[in-house]
Each structure stands twice: as C-alpha cells, then as structure tokens.
Structure 1
Amino acid sequence: MNKTLLRLTRGLWFWILAIAGVSFLTLVGTTALAEIIAGFLGSLFEPQEVLSSAGSAIRAALLVALFTFCAQMVKGLLEYKTAAKARTSMRRMIFSKVLDLDAGGIEKIGPVSAITASVDAVEQMQMYFSTYLPSLICSILAPIYLFFHLKNISMPVALLLLVVSLILLPVNNLFRCRIEEIRKGYWKSLDDMTGYYMDSLRGLTTLKLFDRDKEHSRVLGEKADVLNYNINCFMKVNFTSFLVTEAMIYAAVLFALVNSAGRIADGSMTIAQALIVLMLSYSYFSAAKELMNASHSALTAIAAAGKVEEILDTDTSRPYDPSLPKDPEQFAGIRMDHVSYGYEGRSRALQDMSLTVPKGKTVALVGLSGCGKSTTASLLMRFCDPLSGNIYIEGNDYCSMKPEELRKHIAMVPQQVNLFSGTIRENLMLADPDADDALLLEALEEAGLGSFIHSQSKGLDSDVGNAGSSLSGGQRQKMGIARALLSRAEYMIFDEATSSVDPQSEKEIWTTIGHLAETRTLIIISHRMSSVQNADCIYVLKDGMVAQHGTHETLMNEGGLYKELVVRQQAMEVAE
C-alpha cells in the first residue's frame, strides 16, 4: 500500500469495489463448477447414478460456466473503465497542480519531470487501481470463502491453505524494501534520459552542423543503459518474489494431494470429496496469483508515485496578508528595500538590493550575465518572494496583495514570448477575455503590428501556427507586447525583449518601447547598452548588488563597470 496512490483513489473506490465484487462472483461460479464436475467424476464408479445425474450435471455446468464467462466479461469492462477514469483523474490532478505553480515552482520541479509524471507515471499507476487493489481485496476474501467450503471435508487442508494464502502478501511485501532503495534511481535515470533526448531533438540541427550527433547518440545510449539497468532491478526483485510465493503455493497444494490420497486409502474420504479438495486447493491461490501477477505493476506504480508525490506536495500557496505595514516612505512607484534572494542549492542571486522605480519613469537594469537582472524581474512579478527585505508598489507591501491582483498592475514581456496554437485573437485574449476587436486592434497598432494585421486576409482570425511558428521572431515579441498592453498594467517589464530578433525587428521594438515610455512606467532589462541610454535611471548590477546607478551621462562621467560595458559594446559594434 502507498499513501500517495491511496490519495489518488478519490472517486475510484466504487469502480475498484465493483471489480472486486465481480471477481468474487467469478470465484463463486468457479467453485460451483468445480463441485459439479467433482461430483460427476466421483459418480463414474456407480454407472446407474451416472446415467440419472449426467443430464442435470451437464445443464448445471453449462449454466455456471455461462455465469462465470459473463462475470469475466463484466470484470474486463470494469477494469477498462477504471483504468480510463484513473488516467483522466490523475492527469487532471497533476495538470491542475502544475498550473497552480508559479514560475519559481516550475523551475524547481522541472518541465521534464512534469511531463514524465503526467505521461509515463500515470500509465504505470493506473494498473494499481484497475488490477492491483481489486486483486488485493479478493486475495483476502477468496481464502476465507473457500475455507468454509473445505473445512467440513478436510479441516487440516482447509486450515493450511488458509494460512498460506493469507501470509503470501506479507511475504511478498518483504521485497518492498529493495524497491524503495532503487525507485529514486529509476526515476532519476528516466528524467535524465528523457531530458537529454528532448534536448537532442530540439538541437538536432546544431548537432548536425557541428557533426556531434554520433556523440550525442552514444551518450543517449549510455543513459538508456542506466535506465535499463534500473528496470532490470525491478524485474529481478519481482521474479524473486514470484519464485518464493510460487514455491509456497505448490508446497501447500502438494500437501493437499498427499493428505487426500492418504484419506482415500483409509476410506475416510470419497473420490468426489478428494477431487473437490484438489480442484479448490489451487483456487485458493487464484486471487493471490492474480495479485502477484499485478505486483510488478504495483511496484512500478509505487516508484512512479514518488515522482507524482513530489509534484503534488509542492507548495503552491502564495500567502498574502493585507494587514502588512505600508511603505514608510510612501513612495509613488515601486521600491525594493534591502532585498535578498537565493535559489535552492545555489549562492545568493541578490544580496541587499535596493532600488526605486518612480511612476511614469523608465528605469533600466544592466550588467554582466548572472548579475541578478532576471531574478529582479521575477521578484517584481512575484514569481518568487524575497528571503529578506521588502518590495513595495505605490505604498503597499507586495506580500499584502494576491499575485493575481498584483499582476493587474505590472506586466512583463519576457525574452521568449510564448504563443499558443490558434489565432491572433485567441492569443491576445489571454490577457483580456472580454476585449472586443477595437481593443485588440488598438493594442496591435500600439505594439507596431498595425500594418501586419491589416495585410492578413483573415485579420484577427489569422492562424499563428504551432507555438507561433508562422510568425517571425520580431512579430512574436510584438504580440507579447500587445498582450501585455491589453492587461492595462501601469508598470511593464521588458526582460531582454529584443535578444532573439533580427536587427530590423529590434529597431522597431525599441521604437515601440520608446512610445510606451510616454504613457507607462517601464523597467527595461537589456544587454544592449545603447538601448537604455535614454532611461531616467540606470542601475548597474554586479554579483547581485547595485554597483552604480544614475543617468547615462552621470555613469559615463563616473566611470566604472557601466562605462566599461558601453566601451566594450561600442568596440564590438565597430568590429561588426
């Protein structure tokens, strides 16, 4: 039994108990058929009795066989329905949890883990509900039912078979310890191989260009070998468990055979009774054998549940407290006050950071890669919360507002704008589901896509392709700007919004940003120093701290890191 899997059975117990009930009816039919056949075979030594009972025995056997067949068909249908319902329920639960995660939570669990949990893990766990749990229930009920059928014929045999059948499961569970040891390694190797495979597919063109595809193929083979080794570990444990329990079953059946033969010899048991004992002895363990056949799936499901549990137990709550103190300075804009932040397992990304973004102004963040620019943007969007210090927006503490309420005031255009398959209209209405065509066209015009949208025969209903593949890089970024505009946020963050577009598109986007600076408060993160020279204030970050701040002219006169970055970029542009 596994607490995570039991937690996921919500809404499935009716189906699980239905499968167990139909399986029990199948056992009842099988038992009745065995008694009919045993009685008929035992009467073969009395020809007169055979002639009188043959017809009724055949009719009874056919009816019982038909009943058992129908029960098996219903059981198969219930198992299919249960598996389908389990897959749907679990994927909905995992997907809902992933959607509840903010950007920081997604980074923590990793997109590959989310994929393997919702695809591979669910496929492996659904057998636990459709097969293992019903078999577990039957493996307890069946021996008790059969005990009462055999105890009046042979109490020693009935008692021994009952004891053996009930201890099979505890014996099987002894092998669980080994499974617990290897499950983490199994899922780690699966994540590792899946992630490497996905990276190889995404970068296949690059690998071909540099003739590194064979090397990646070799590494992928090694990772597959590690995964194969871990799978074989599961198989070995399952085989050993199967070997031990099968030995116990056949030893018990052998005892029943020897005991029945001895009692027939001394005349204390009829042949018909002996046949019933032998036929039902193996039936004692039919549910247990079915359980053992499902045990590998159960062990794999338990291993898979560990990965799902990691996702489901991720804290998605974003606490807020409206009673938190106001900004003592009552600053009209955004203020970061001695903020520090660090990612798990890494050094501090920000250390005692303080900066201000006056309302109606343009503020730029620059610095070398890894200096904390994007982390600052994540904190400002409240994708994560500071470890220490405070962030205020127009006098209110960030943590006094719900994230969704805060994001009505501040929007971000990231380095890579994500578009979804569908139309331009559908992608824009993510920001405002109630926006009419006039608002959508106005946002596109303001984002610099006015001429583009008017050139499309279907206008707003033009398809953007798979993840925006029918648009250029610059058009995708402008779509991100238009979507941010539709949110009507007073503050907008541009996080390297032009780093992946061509020079012409970059020029157009900066022109658009320049126009937006007239009506909105902008926070610009850029590696191109020439694009931030007109900012009202430039913050130069170094090692997670503010190294310099001021206007372009002030910082150039001051020298230091800012001037060094500007001179270095000018030299690169001349060289180009």
Structure 2
Amino acid sequence: MADRSGNNKKKVNQGATLKKVFERLGKYRIFLIFSILLATVSVALTLYIPKLTGHAVDFIVSRGNVDFPGVLRVMVQIGICTLVTALAQWLMNVCNNKMTYQIVRDIRNEAFHKIEILPLKYIDGHAYGEVVSRVIADVDQFSDGLLMGFTQLFTGVATILGTFCFMLSVNVKITVVVVLITPLSFFVANFIAKRTFSMFKIQSETRGEQTGLIDEMIGNQKVVQVFGRGEDVTERFDEINERLNRASLRATFFSSITNPSTRFINSLVYTGVGITGAFAVVRGSLTVGQLSSFLSYANQYTKPFNEISGVVTEFQNAIACAQRVFELIEEEPQIPEPEQAVVLKDIDGNVKIEDVSFSYVPEQKLIEDFNLDVKPGQKIAIVGPTGCGKTTLINLLMRFYDVTGGQIKVENIDIREVTRKSLRAGYGMVLQDTWLKTGTIRENITMGRPDATEEEIIEAAKASHIHSYISRLPKGYDTWITEDGGGLSQGQKQLLCIARVMLCRPPMLILDEATSSIDTRTELKIQQAFAKLMEGRTTFIVAHRLSTIREADVILVMKDGKVIEQGNHESLLEQGGFYRHLYESQFAH
C-alpha cells in the first residue's frame, strides 16, 4: 500500500512538473507551432523519397530494358525533396533551440530572483553549493533533455504517423503486421521509463550534495589544511562520489537498455515485413519496387520508437532536475511588504524594542520579553557570552529575521510596516565576517554609494586607514580583487568594509566586532575615526573586548537571550554583577 502511495505521489509530482514546463512553454508557442509544421514538412518529404525510389526501381525492368528518362525524372524529384527537407530540418532546429534556451533563461531568472527574496533562514539552512547546483547543473540537465525532446519527439511522432499512411497506401495486410508487433516497443519503453525517474532524481540530489561539499571545501581550504582534515574531507567526498557513481550507473544502465530492447522489437517488425512482402511478391500482389519502398518505410516506422524511447529516458532526467529547480522557485518568499509600506526618510535614530521574543527553532527559546528605548545619537553596546543573542538582535534590527513576538520601531513606526530597502539604507553595518565582491577596490568601497566622487572615496579610505595601502598597489583603487579578498589580509579586508560605511555615513550604525582583525595600533586610529563617525548617530556596538565600549551611553549585558543588566560602564562595575565578572576576567593580572 505504501509503495502504491509513493508511486502515485511520484506520478503527481511528474505531472505537476510537466504542467509547469508547459506553462512556461506557452510564451513561445509560435516557435512550437513552427517547429511542428517544419517537422511535418520534413517527415512528409523524407517519406516521399522511398516511394520515388520504388518508382525508379520499377523503371529498371531488366538488362537493356531501362526507362532512363523516367529514372532521371525521379532522381531530380528526389534531389529537390532532399534539399527542401534539409532546409526544413535546419529551420526546425533553430526554432527548437530558440524555444528551449528562452525557457531555460526564464527559469534561471526566476530561480535567481527567488534567491534574492528568500528568507535568510532558507539560505542558512541549505548548503550554498547545493543551491548553486540547482540553478546551474540541474537547469543544464533540464535544457539538454528539453532540447532532445523537442528535436526528436515532433519528428518521431510525425514519422510514425506518416509512414503508417504511406504503408497503408502500398499494402494494407503488411501494414497490419507492422502495427500488431510495434506496440511491444511502447510497453518496453514505458516499463523502463517508470523506473528511471526516481533513479535520476537520486542522481540529481547526490550531485547537488557533492557540489555543496566542493564549494564548502574550496571556500575553507586553509582551515581544512590547518586542522589536518584533508583525509577526512577526501573520505567524505569519496563516499558521496561513490553514491553518485552508483546512482548514475543505475540510472544510465536502466535508461540505456531501452534502446537495444526497442531495436530488438524493431528487428522483428522488419523481419515480419520482409517475409510477408516476399510472399506477396511471389504471389504477384506486390512489385519489387513496392517491396523495397515498404522495407524502407518499415525501417523508418520503427526508427522513431528507438529515438522516442531515448527521449523518454532522457526526459525523466530532465523532469527530475526541473522538479528540484521548481522546488526552489516555489519556496515561500520572505514576508511581503504591505502595499502601503512606509519609506523611511529623515531618520534621527530613534529605536524602540518592545516585548520582543524570538527563536530560530520554536521549541528552543532564545530572546524573550526584550525591551529597549534608544534615543537619537546614543551608543548602545551589547555584551555577553557566546550564544546569548547579540548577533540575533542585530539580525532583528536589520529585519533579516522577523520577531515572533512584540515589535521593533524606528522613528515610532513598526519596521514590519516600512520597506526593507529604506530600513537597511538607514543602517551602516560592519561585521566581524567581512564580505567583498569580485571587482575593483573602488567598486567594493562604493557599493552603498555608486555615485560617490573620487575625493569622497579617498576621504573614506583615509578615515579607515586603508588609503596608503591602496596607493601602493599597481593599479590603486582600480586593482581587481576576488570575493575572498585575494592577497588582502583579514585586517585589510575589514578596513575596506569600514571604508564602505565611512563613505555612506548612514544615520545609524551597527558595529559587530568591527575591529576584531585589526592590529592594536590601527585599531586605536579606527576607534578615533569611528568616534567621529558616531557623533550624532545612533550606534549599536557588539563587542567581546570590553575595553572598546567604555564610552557607550548604555551597555546591555545579555545572557540566555535576556538583558540581565543595563547601564553605563561605571554603574555596571559598581553593581558588582555579571558585567563586573566579565570585565575582571578580561583584565585580571
């Protein structure tokens, strides 16, 4: 019963996926119509040639008794049919290519745009390489199957119907023999195709898992080597690779036996036509030329069954891959903004957090009943042990995640009622984990302000103490770097991120261990630059080094998702609570 239920679910999934493909095909129906018409013309002329060949054979009666004018006339007709057929096939392939790659382009665009609006929890919960595999490898596999389907399916079906009509016009009895044996090909192809879909789906999922591991290892190769995990990673890769090998072999084996099986059936058809036709020629009910035409038709009639069976198995792979892509496209997007969403302007930096609760996993509470009232221009430091909710609070302020209870207000407006773009534009953020994009240093600094002038860029770089280093590079600000920073040190990458914020000069700042990778001397200079930048700006500072937050207006001491202490540096030390314990543990001699 369970197996039957599973099979029904698989059929529903396949049917639903095919429906989505055809929906996207509707935009390009004009190419589909032309492709079908051209396939019909190509097949009709291809099938007319054997009939002409039969006439030519009948013009050759015996030695010295040949109707050469008749043979020449037939040869000219065959030549014209061949040229028109070649042109029709070329135009059909143009239509099929156009149709396939337009659909593939649309699906990739949909997938990429969906990634842009997916909630952060989806990205956090999936390996990056696995997501990349869906958008790149799976779509490639889908396009290959779709192109093969369009190219061979139309011509195959047209050939079967056309040859059937031509065979009927030559001899009805032999046509019946062909039609009675042929359905065996359908049964064989259908039997195998049903079993290959699940195998290709497993192959596609395992390929995604492998891509995810490769992406993860390339991005963290230094860590892997430092901790000597090379052998363990290799073993893990070998295990996934072996699973992919088994899945691919099974899928390929079952799909590859379709062609020989249908060829065997087709050989039976050809043999049946040859024997039946030979008796008909002996009886005088069929000429030799007609038999030669019929044998040609029988061969052409059975050939599409081989091609269609190949298309069916390849199409199983394509649909399995398409299903994974559509799963990504149909993921629940982040909560949409209300139609009347407010665009934040003239932000003073007034932030209120009222009775906020949040947890990544419902059964595991993180932040509960959190309240905070931040006045414009205040410096709010957030300290506490690892896992207490410091970075989570930043994610909530930026609305990377939505609160599960309570509300966060900016300028007395619930941030769920404002546009995400205007909210995030109000913050300048420097994280402990730096992020750079592939491009020039200039492009990385001006990410938030592409229209900044050269003077403003240099001023921001000087304020973040990275200008002198950039000036020593061969191409200065036009030096090309990759997303991992290339030859830049971790500290230099962090300075570039700081320069990016210095250039934007937003009304509010979030500094999450912003100077953690910078040497002490440079850090003092950066702190001075930050002090100047923070003047009049509401600033949230996440810090482990308590020496960097002594001047904060309010220090929030967090533990287990709750603010257990609140005040300035001196008052918290006087309380002699958890903050004092943290402070003394850092500065104990």
Matches within 5 A, 1:492-503: 492-503=509-520
Q: Is the CA contact 1:334–1:357 (under 8 Å) kept in the aligned structure 2?
A: yes
2:497 aligns to what? Answer: 480
Q: Is the CA contact 1:4–1:305 (under 8 Å) kept in the aligned structure 2?
A: no
The one-letter amino acid of 1:337's match is E
Q: Is the CA contact 1:417–1:477 (under 8 Å) kept in the aligned structure 2?
A: yes
* Residue of structure 2 aligned with 1:337, choices 354, 357, 365: 354
1:279 aligns to what? Answer: 296
TM-aligned CA deviation for residue 306 of structure 1: 2.4
TM-score (norm 2): 0.84
1:353 aligns to what? Answer: 370
* Residue of structure 1 aligned with 2:209, choices 192, 198, 213: 192
Matches within 5 A, 1:494-513: 494-513=511-530
2:552 aligns to what? Answer: 535
Is the alpha carbon distance of 1:244 and 1:374 closer, same or farther for their aligned partners in structure 2, counting shifts above 3 Å?
A: farther
TM-aligned CA deviation for residue 211 of structure 1: 4.2
Is the alpha carbon distance of 1:45 and 1:123 closer, same or farther for their aligned partners in structure 2, counting shifts above 3 Å?
A: same
Matches within 5 A, 1:215-230: 215-230=232-247
* Residue of structure 2 aligned with 1:128, choices 135, 145, 167: 145
The one-letter amino acid of 1:291's match is I
User: Greater shift after overlay, 246-255 or 524-533?
Assistant: 246-255
* Residue of structure 2 aligned with 1:57, choices 67, 70, 74: 74
* Residue of structure 2 aligned with 1:25, choices 38, 41, 47: 41
TM-aligned CA deviation for residue 521 of structure 1: 0.9
1:111 aligns to what? Answer: 128
Matches within 5 A, 1:450-489: 451-452=468-469, 461-467=477-483, 468-489=485-506
User: Greater shift after overlay, 472-481 or 523-532?
Assistant: 472-481
Q: Does 1:397 align with 2:414?
A: yes
Q: Secondary structure at the match of 1:151?
A: helix
Q: Secondary structure at the match of 1:269?
A: coil
Distance in 1, matches of 2:248 and 2:106, equals 26
2:440 aligns to what? Answer: 423
Q: Percent identity?
A: 24
Per-residue CA shift, 1:407-439, capped at 9, x if unaligned? 222232222232223333322332123322343
1:387 aligns to what? Answer: 404
Distance in 2, matches of 1:546 and 1:375, equals 13
Is the alpha carbon distance of 1:51 and 1:304 closer, same or farther for their aligned partners in structure 2, counting shifts above 3 Å?
A: same
Is the alpha carbon distance of 1:488 and 1:501 closer, same or farther for their aligned partners in structure 2, counting shifts above 3 Å?
A: closer
* Residue of structure 1 aligned with 2:57, choices 32, 41, 45: 41
Distance in 1, matches of 2:471 and 2:442, equals 14
Equivalenced residue count is: 566
Distance in 2, matches of 1:152 and 1:422, equals 68
2:531 aligns to what? Answer: 514
User: Greater shift after overlay, 47-56 or 193-202?
Assistant: 47-56
1:181 aligns to what? Answer: 198
TM-score (norm 1): 0.86
* Residue of structure 2 aligned with 1:5, choices 10, 18, 21: 21
TM-aligned CA deviation for residue 505 of structure 1: 4.0
User: Greater shift after overlay, 487-496 or 315-324?
Assistant: 315-324
Distance in 2, matches of 1:549 and 1:130, equals 65
Distance in 2, matches of 1:504 and 1:417, equals 20
Q: CA-atom RMSD, angstroms? A: 3.4
Per-residue CA shift, 1:270-311, capped at 9, x if unaligned? 222222222112212333332323334322221211221122
Q: Is the CA contact 1:143–1:162 (under 8 Å) kept in the aligned structure 2?
A: no
Q: Is the CA contact 1:474–1:505 (under 8 Å) kept in the aligned structure 2?
A: no
1:328 aligns to what? Answer: none
TM-aligned CA deviation for residue 111 of structure 1: 1.9
TM-aligned CA deviation for residue 49 of structure 1: 4.4
Q: Does 1:143 align with 2:160?
A: yes
Q: Secondary structure at the match of 1:294?
A: helix
User: Greater shift after overlay, 498-507 or 380-389?
Assistant: 498-507
TM-aligned CA deviation for residue 360 of structure 1: 0.9
Q: Secondary structure at the match of 1:353?
A: strand
Q: Is the CA contact 1:20–1:134 (under 8 Å) kept in the aligned structure 2?
A: no
Q: Secondary structure at the match of 2:449?
A: coil
Is the alpha carbon distance of 1:158 and 1:540 closer, same or farther for their aligned partners in structure 2, counting shifts above 3 Å?
A: farther
In the alignment, structure 1 segments of 5+ residues that lack a partner are 326-330
Q: Is the CA contact 2:59–2:71 (under 8 Å) kept in the aligned structure 1?
A: no
Matches within 5 A, 1:182-331: 182-321=199-338
Q: Does 1:565 align with 2:582?
A: yes
Q: Is the CA contact 2:349–2:507 (under 8 Å) kept in the aligned structure 1?
A: no
